[in-house]
Amino acid sequence: MGTNNRRLRGAGAAAGLMSLALLAACGGGGGVATGPEEGGASGAAEGQEITIGWIPWEEDIAVTHLWAAVLADQGYTVELTNPDVAPLYQGLAGGDIDLFLDTWLPDTHADYWEQYGEQLEDIGVWYDNAVLTMTVPSYVEGVESIEDLADNADMFGGRIVGIESGSGLNRTIREEAIPTYGLDDYEFVESSTSAMLAELDSAIAAEEPIVVGLWRPHIAYANYDLRDLEDPEGAMGAGEEIHMVGRQGFAADYPELNGWLQNFTLNDEELQSLETLVLQEHEDDPEAGARAWLAENPDFLERVGVPAA
């Protein structure tokens, strides 16, 4: 897909992510509450409350708002909270957060799982083809592998652009890729996902070289023409699975929901279409984007076992 006519609106995506963060910070306790859609089913869970933590990774934003919409229609009062990843795991372990839908294992969130895993419940895997990447626009010539970066620092202004400092992606680049491939001439920029996307968008608009830390699945691959750099030393890790995790007692307190989540999977096409609707077409109202996806995929609720509204 060409970059000229279908570039991701990086600045818009960045603004959308920031607006989501602000939205999650509103109201008591730092969350946003949702209730049943007007005319929707009250459900057997009428009045039951649940707090879902999320991080600003596109797949997590998409699936979190998907389940927020589903649960609201089933009568749950849903609160979404957006702490940094370390406090999120602390909140799960302490029982302040009930559910997190974006735990990457075995590598990306390994440190958090090692620290808190015994205090959490692994509900299951909803996506099994996740990978961490170092990525350049396809127009960048002469750089096919991470090992090629060492001799091309000047081309990229001596910068590798990462995301949030506490992320597993940044840790992998900083502690594994940079020393493995001798990239000491680079400054590793740790800022935020939205800032990385904005830099990527600006660079592509100007057709300038840039190297960023990214991951699959990510909506950027559907909207930019990108090339993941080969990783002959395996520094970025092998393929990963995205797990759903709950606080201790989750299955006992939410038995019906636990069953639905155990049935939950998305393939690449489904996830891409969900991200497009949530993050782009409805970036100011992600739950509306999730509902639009549900309307386009009427078999989803039956597939996971959720009663029809």
- Tell me what the mean pLDDT of segment 95-99 comes to: 98
178 touches 235 (CB < 8 A): no
Instruction: Name the band, by pLDDT with cuts 50, 70 and 90, for residue 16.
Output: very low
User: Mind giving me the DSSP string for 67-91?
Assistant: HHHHHHHTT-EEEEE---HHHHHHH
Spell 74-88 as b/e; 16+ CB within 10 A means b.
bbbbbbbbbbebeeb
247 touches 97 (CB < 8 A): yes
**Angle in degrees, CA 12, 13, 15, rounded to 5:** 65
Residue 308: the pLDDT is 81
Give the count of alpha carbons within 13 A of 32, CB side only. Answer: 18
For the cut 90, the answer to whether the pLDDT of residue 190 exceeds it is yes
pLDDT tens for 126-169 read 999 899 999 999 999 999 999 999 999 999 999 999 999 888 89
For the cut 70, the answer to whether the pLDDT of residue 35 exceeds it is no
Q: Above pLDDT 90, what percent of the chain?
A: 77
For the cut 90, the answer to whether the pLDDT of residue 214 exceeds it is yes
The overall pTM is greater than 0.85: no
Q: Count the helix, strand and coil residues of the chain and give each as a percent rounded to the nearest 5.
A: 45, 20, 35
Residue whose entry in the numeric block shows the structure tokens 């089933």: 74
Residue 46: the pLDDT is 66
Residue 256: the pLDDT is 96
For the cut 90, the answer to whether the pLDDT of residue 188 exceeds it is yes
Least confident segment among 89-98, 115-124, 243-252, 268-277: 268-277
Residue 105 neighbours by CB distance under 10 Å: 19
For the cut 50, the answer to whether the pLDDT of residue 13 exceeds it is no
Residue 45: the pLDDT is 66
For the cut 70, the answer to whether the pLDDT of residue 3 exceeds it is no
Partnered with residue 173 across adjacent β-strands are: none
Residue whose entry in the numeric block shows the structure tokens 């897909």: 1
Question: How confident is the prediction for the chain on average, in pLDDT?
Answer: 87
Distance CA 37, CA 35 (A): 6
Residue 36: the pLDDT is 46
Residue 239: the pLDDT is 87
For the cut 80, the answer to whether the pLDDT of residue 47 exceeds it is no
For the cut 90, the answer to whether the pLDDT of residue 19 exceeds it is no
For the cut 60, the answer to whether the pLDDT of residue 18 exceeds it is no
User: Mind giving me the DSSP string for 117-174?
Assistant: GGGEEEEEEEEEEEEEEEEEETT--S--BGGGGGG-TTTTTTEEE---TTSHHHHHII
Distance CA 81, CA 306 (A): 24
